[in-house]
Structure formats: structure tokens, C-alpha cells
Chain A
Amino acid sequence: MSYICRRFSAQTFDADPGDSGWWQQQFIGLLSQGSETIEVLGGPQGSGWFWGSPKCCAEVRGADGSWDGGRGPGLRCQVTLLFAQFQLTVPVSVVFAKGALPGAQQRRLPFADTQEEESLLNRKNQADAALLPLQEDSLGALTVYVIPETSPLLPQGVGVYVGKHRSAVMRCPQGPGDVLAAVSARVQQIVQAMSFTTDSITAALSDRVPMDQLGTDTRRPFKSSLGYEITFSLLNPDPKSHDVHWDIEAAVSGYVQPFLDKLGSVANFSVDSQILYYAVLGVSPRFDKASSSFILSALSLPHVINPVEARLGSSATSLYPVLNFLLYVPERIHSPLYIQDKDGAAVGTNAFHSPRWGGIMVYNVDHPAPDKALLPLRVDVDMVRVMEVFLAQLRLLFGISQVPLPEEFLLESPGNKGLTDWELDRLLWTRTVENIATVSTTLTSLAQLLDKIGNIVIKDDVASEVYHAVASAQTAMLELASGHLGSAFQASKEAVISSERAFFDPSLLHLLYFPDDQKFAIYIPLFLPMAVPILLSLVKILREAKQSKKEPTKTD
């Protein structure tokens, strides 16, 4: 088995901590092995892009090792960036089919054992299923099968076939020169598509990077959170004309739940649904004579959401971010209603979504001729069509976007699960990196807070949460470097939970701790006048005592 390691290291500079309190830091690069593109991501000089701090360190603790306020001189909680270098490893196994490589090259392969496999693979659909038991199915690991150039397994014009589990089949590139190098380059391309690229890791660290260097893709998906609440709403503004029924429970359990189950390791999900009557959109659609239909232009779409949002009521319950999916059945007088994009063309899905909020789809109902109409018209919503759109929007909102691939790549459709295994891996890679970066910033800023307010008291449970966060983050880094994505993700999740709990503990409010000069300023005016007579009496007593000691000798 051969391994191809992709190594990313982020080098950070140590800023002078006496630098007016904030850490200015230049996030220098993401070096990728093999291609020397170094991107300098730094803010303009002087404006400051702040991020946590620099050195590589193992632990967080006070100067005297304690957490309960033992304040030695120079307690500098050296919280530091626990990880100056991100090292991400993807275990890839490349399997060569018999006859894929010419004989001379075959002897140069770095590994000793060649796996012989009988190719019972007739059609490409079966290929993936047949190969599945042959490979290790752990999260993050990939398998690439190299088949001979002339093999009929893949159709003409297709160089690489990416299956829905973690495997890909590629043709061995023919040509003069070093075939192995060409194979390796192609494999690297496949691995990049199926795991992560520089861009996706940069996007994961997006809130530590200047804004103008990001694309819109980074602002769309939700931030990594421990849970999400998904709400499906049916909006019926005209119940007199339409009696709408939707079998949402079956649709959710049939289409949405498999998707969410697959994402189960990422977060907790709760799904609910509601029907809203007399809920209108905030915008009046305009009538288009050419198509004799009503049009919602792209510019009016942003103003649709706000009036409806107040009615949705979905944010009252949990503290998790909420994704809203609305299905709007237009009124009879405004039917049919189509959405136009900014070029004026009708949108095929008749739906739009808003970053970090959710999506809206307009469902047009066929009306029979007016004289035959019996109001209200019973409408049974075609849930398959609706769920196709909602699942696509759900994927986009989670950041599972289409990867730009060269033409000769063919992707297998994920089927009803909505998500292929390697797309899940992509999500996990970026989420893990994001979680670890969040943990480091949180702990760094917590240390800065403690530095600033010298007499804050750290409770024991806060201290233990911090230790736990550091330990979990270190575990996550190690697992990432060794390629165990599943355990790395779990460790990073635990680290985030612990660090958030430590940071947002209600006892750490800096208002509750007074600096010493304030204490002097308050108590001295109170006690000084009271203390003056006491001190004078004490002085008098001492003098009398001294005098009485002298007197016996005098009156001798």
C-alpha cells in the first residue's frame, strides 16, 4: 500500500504581547507538498487581523501550576496556539489491476506485495458495490483503482469514475516517459477532489482571514455547531382556494432522515414541520403578459423573507441554529408564479435560498377551467419534487458544494441518501480543522482575559474543562496527522464543547472582579476617619506604658 500525504503547515509569527493588548498576527501560508504556491493571507499593515497567538505549547496553566488564583509575579498564562502546524494526512491506497502498468514499470512500484484481484466487474454500476468489501471502509481513507488504458470498464471519454463510497477507478494514463509519475499526479488530483484542497481548508478558517479574499461560498454554509434545527413550513396564503395536503412525515422519514442519519456524527438534528395559513410573501409579484404568469424578479427576493420570518416562530425553542425550508403555494389570483433570475430567465427549480437561513420553493398548482372549479381545490403536494430541491438546498447550506472537476471525471450519483461518503469526508475534514482553530482562539482569548484581570478566580470545573479541551485538541491533531478522520473529528468536537463551556462560564464576567486600586479607593474613605481615634488611643497607651516603666526607677 502506498501512502500519499498531503501536508499543510500554517506558520505563525509570534507577536509582541505588549502590543497594546491585541495580537497581531500574520497568517502566512498554506504550503502544499509538491506545489509551491504560498498564499500570503494577511491584513493590510496596521489595521490588524487578530488571531490567537503563536507558539507551540502543550498545556495551559498558571505560572505556579495552579488555577485557583495563585498569583505569582508574572503569571503569563502561556496559552498559546497549541498547534502551529496543521498536518492532515489522507490514507490512500492505490490498487493496480493486473495489466494496468507495463511490466518494466511494475517492478519499480515501491511496495512489495501486489494484490491480485479477479475482475468480475462488468458494468460500472456494479463496480463500486463489488469493490466495497475489498477496501477498508474507515472515514477518510480512500482507495483508487488503476485499470488498464484500454479497459472497457469505463465508458469512452471518461478517465476517472468516482464512486459513492470512498473509491475511484481511473485509467492508467498512457504515454512516453514516467508512467508512475503521471499516475501519481492523477491520483493526487483525485485525492484532492475527494478529501480537501487548500481552498477548502482556507475557507474553514475563514473568520481568521481577511474578508475580501473569500468567495461567497464561505459565507453560505452554517458554522460548525453541535446541533441544528430544521423546520419545514408549508405556506398557504389562500385556504379558500387551495386545500393543501402534504405528507411531510413520510417525506422526512424517507428522504431527509437518511441524509441526516448519514450526517449523524457531525451534529444532532431535530426536524419539525408546520403549516401556516394566510401567510403572504412580502412582495407583490408582477404580471408578465408574455408568459401570462406572475413573476418574482431576482431583486425582490431578498425582501420576501423578512415579513414571513416573524410568523415562523421557529426560533423560540432551541439554542441551535435553525434552517427554515418554506414551501409556498401561491394564491389563485397570483398563479402561476415563477421566479426569475437576474438575467430574466425562469428558474427551473422555482426556488431560492438564503445563506445561513434556509430556502423557499414556490409550488404552482394546476387549475382546471374556472367553471368546473370546485373551491377549495384539493392539492396533494408532490413531495419527491419538493424534497429534491430542499435536499439540494440543505446540501448547499451545509457547505457540501459541487467540486469543480475536469471533464473526464464521472461522479456516481449519491442516490436517496443525498450524500456520498467522500462528500461526508470533505465535510469532516473542514469541520475538524475549523473546530481545532476555534478551540485555539477560544483558549487564547480566555488566557488574555485572565492576564488582564489579575484577580479573577477560576473555578475548578472551568479549569478542568480547559485541560480537557487542550487534551482533546491535541488528540485531534495527532489523529489528523495519522489519518484517522473519524476519531479526529470526535476529539475536535469534544474540544470545542469543553472550550466553549469554559469560555462562556457565567462566573467569568470581568465586571465582578475589582482591581486593587478600586478597592483602596472605596474602603479608605470609610475606614480612615474611624481608625484615627483608635490609632491615637493606641499611641497614648504605648506612651503611658513606657512612662510607667520608667517611673518606678525614678521614684526610687
Chain B
Amino acid sequence: GQNAMFLFHSISPYPSLLPLSFHHHSEFHWFCFHCQDQAEQFFRSGHTNNWAVLVCTSRFWFNYRHVANTLSVYRSVKRLGIPDSHIVLMLADDMACNPRNPKPATVFSHKNMELNVYGDDVEVDYRSYEVTVENFLRVLTGRIPPSTPRSKRLLSDDRSNILIYMTGHGGNGFLKFQDSEEITNVELADAFEQMWQKRRYNELLFIIDTCQGASMYERFYSPNIMALASSQVGEDSLSHQPDLGIGVHLMDRYTFYVLEFLEEIHPASQTNMNDLFQVCPRSLCVSTPGHRTDLFQRDPQNVLITDFFGSVRKVEITTETVALDPNLVGLETRVPNDEMATEPLKYAEQLPVAQIIHQKPKQKDWHPPGGFILGLWALIIMVFFKTYGIKHMKYIF
């Protein structure tokens, strides 16, 4: 099936003319026979849009590689067509503008600083301390306060394929967020079940690159989920290569090889998931990557990489039109609005300054001490007086 590859104009601002390679007429016919199969295949997956939730959960400078991992996946996903409005990117720390970064405003993923994955069109939705377990679960389940802006929401529907990529430090059954809290595999499985109940996804691909990553997908029980992890339970995921100029490890092995794999994917490629499962064998990765497909309805052979990593739209040719009669349109609907008298605009009061300046300090309501405190004090006093004798009481009162 790779013969039908033809070159596409990639998403770059400098168009280069790449003519589609048709040599002679007969090849055109053969080509079109094949393209009917492809058109049918487009509809096999049943999704109409793609979303991606990319999460980096660690902070501090020495966890540079987790941010680089996430940004590399972000870059690939954008290159393959998913727009920023459909990506929720959560980075727990800022490496590009970290005071310890010798090359500010860059995040590199290859040594010798070959590839800057930070670029100038990175759109981070949850940054720094906003990356918490609570926010992550709120994004997934949709139980978000109404004031949240659209870019921070996962507005998927029942025809969305979602890619969820998580990286950081983890253990057997948990993933650490921000060095202070953790998410367990049970909670994650429950969150996915909540998503399924509300049909917030059509199919879900879950990739995790942490130590003992396979434990995170053990507890899933919702349908249409495929999961990949960088290591089995009991194994550690290792990092790839340090850069002596920056001083930290730049990437993790599993994500590094996944990215090498993804670099060869373009929006029209027909590579399927079985190839992704083969990425990073034990010889390269030292850990054993694992995957889980029993909850997934389709055969991984039929699942294209671009079903999750890219955003290949289904299109249909429009064959019908609606007959309109221009004479029936009411002419009085045309209002000459450039002649409307404009009333002078007033600048709305932004702050009630007068109220703020003359504000009295708000009185905090006084609450009596709670039962626990009272009980504790009563106990202490009782013990004191019993130990030292009741005769002291009369000196107190």
C-alpha cells in the first residue's frame, strides 16, 4: 500500500511547488482504483476530529527532559495537523525561561542543540502551578468552573479521537505531580470511565513515559482505549542522552525513539499502530515497552497513526444546492449603517475606585472554637487538676 504515496505540501509558510507525480494516463486509472479504497478507509475509524492532552508533571531544572518530551510530542502533533485549539498542553515548569538555562527561550531535544522544540508558536494552556491532579481531572471529565476560557477546556464529543500523553516520575500505580501530590491508576481509570459515560471520546490513545508506566493502564475498564507505556512494572524508564552544554538529560529514551518514528509520518501515511508497538525494543530502551489493546474494538492493524497523532479530516463533495430566488429577498433589509448617528462612547468604569479607597476593613465573623479544640482543652485541664490536686482550683477561680 505504500505505492500510493504522493507528496503533499507540508505546513510551512514557504510554499514549494511539489507537483503530484502522475506520469501517464494509465497510472492515473490505477491510482484512482486504489483511492476509492482509501476513501472508504477514511470512514472506517468513525472519528471526525482529533484532540490531544499533553501533560508534563515534573518541575525543577533537572527534569528538563520531561518538558522536552512533552514539547516534542506537541510539535509532532501540530505538524501532523491538530490545531492549537484542539490541544491542551500542560507544562509543570518553565524550562525555556528558567534562570539556569544557558540558552534562554529554547528547549532542545537532541544533543548538540540540533532541534529547538520550543519554537515561537507554542501555546501552553496550563502552566507551572496550574498543573495539578485536580485540574487534570477537571479537564478530562469536563467538570470545569464556568469561568474557564475555551483554550483550557477539552471540548471533545462522541466523534473525537483523543491522544493523552503523560510524562514525569511515577511508580507502581501512581504518577507524581509537582513533587507534592500524585494521581493513582484507579483515579485515572475512573476519570476515563466518566468520559466514556458522557461519550466524550470515540477512541482514546494513552501513552505514558515514566518509571513502571505499565501500572498506570492496568486498571482501565472503559471501552475504546489503547494504552502504551515505556516500561513494565518493576522497571525504570531511562533517559537518553545528556547534553554537556546544557548540563541535563534532554530526552527520555522511549519518547526519543517514538519521535524518530513520528518524524517519518506525514498526514497521508498509512502506517498503523503495530509499528508503533515495535518502537524502542529492549536493546535500545533498556526497559520493555508495553501496550494494552484488549479494550480497543478495532484491530491495531487497522488503526492508522494519523487517527490519533494527526487530524485527517473526512471530506465529502457537495453535490446538491438549494435553489434560491434573489427576487424574493426583501429589499428593505438593507440598512445603510454608515449613516447612523453614532452616540458618543463612554468609557466604562473599570474599578470602583471610590469604594476601594474609602473601604472599611471587612469584619471577619467570629466563630466560637470548635468542639474538638474545646474537648482537647477540657481534657488537658482535667488531667492537670487531677494530677496536682483539686485544691489549686480555688486559687484560679
Contacts and interface: CB of A to CB of B under 8 A. Distances in A.
Contacts of A317: 150
Interface in B208-254: 221-223
Nearest to A449: B194
A102 interface: no
A301 B197 CA distance: 34
B324 A355 contact: no
B314 A250 contact: no
Given A250-B334, A286-B20, A353 B324 contact: no
A22 interface: yes
B267 interface: yes
A318 B134 CA distance: 24
A452 B46 CA distance: 31
A416 B316 contact: no
Nearest to B4: A299
A48 B221 CA distance: 11
B112 interface: no
Contacts of B387: 537, 541
B319 A388 contact: no
Interface string B133-163: 1100110011111000011010101110000
Contacts, number: 225
A376 interface: no
B119 interface: no
Nearest to B384: A537
Interface stretch (B33-41, B97-105, B165-173): B33-41
A356 B155 CA distance: 13
Given A310-B84, A445-B198, A352 B141 contact: no
Given A306-B267, A387-B324, A356 B330 contact: no
Contacts of B322: 388, 391-392, 395, 414, 418
A391 B318 CA distance: 11
Contact of A223 (B32, B39, B157, B319): B157
B223 A506 contact: no
B271 interface: no
Contact of B39 (A282, A307, A342, A344): A342
B319 A349 contact: yes
A305 B142 CA distance: 27
Nearest to A544: B386
A353 B187 contact: no
A402 B8 CA distance: 35
Nearest to A255: B324
B297 A286 contact: no
Given A223-B158, A316-B150, A299 B35 contact: yes
Contacts of B190: 452, 510
A503 B144 CA distance: 11
Given A282-B9, A448-B197, A511-B187, A305 B313 contact: yes
B194 to A, nearest CB: 7
Chain B residues touching A, range: 35 or more
Contacts of B138: 506, 509
A299 B39 contact: yes
A404 to B, nearest CB: 14
A284 B9 contact: yes
A148 interface: no
B81 A306 contact: yes
A355 B42 CA distance: 12
Given A352-B318, A442-B198, A538-B383, A509 B143 contact: yes
Contacts of B143: 504-509
Interface in B298-349: 311-326, 328-330, 333-334
Nearest to B42: A302
A47 B297 contact: yes
Given A306-B11, A416-B325, A537-B387, A250 B333 contact: yes
Contacts of B145: 506
Contacts of A359: 318
A304, A348, A356, most chain B CB atoms within 10 A:
A356
7 contacts: A223-B157, A254-B329, A299-B38, A302-B313, A356-B49, A442-B197, A506-B138
Interface of A: 20-22, 47-48, 50, 207, 211, 216, 219-220, 223, 250, 253-255, 280, 282-284, 286-287, 297-307, 309-310, 315-319, 321, 339, 341-344, 347-349, 351-357, 359, 361, 384, 387-389, 391-393, 395-396, 402, 413-416, 418, 441-442, 444-445, 448-449, 452, 503-512, 534, 537-538, 541, 544
Given A47-B297, A534-B379, A541-B386, 13 more contacts: A21-B193, A47-B223, A50-B196, A219-B159, A284-B9, A302-B313, A306-B267, A342-B36, A347-B318, A356-B159, A445-B197, A506-B138, A510-B194
Interface of B: 6, 8-9, 11, 15, 17-20, 22, 28, 32, 35-36, 38-39, 42-43, 46, 48-49, 81-85, 133-134, 137-138, 141-145, 150-151, 153, 155, 157-159, 187, 190, 193-194, 196-199, 221-223, 267-268, 297, 311-326, 328-330, 333-334, 379, 383, 386-387
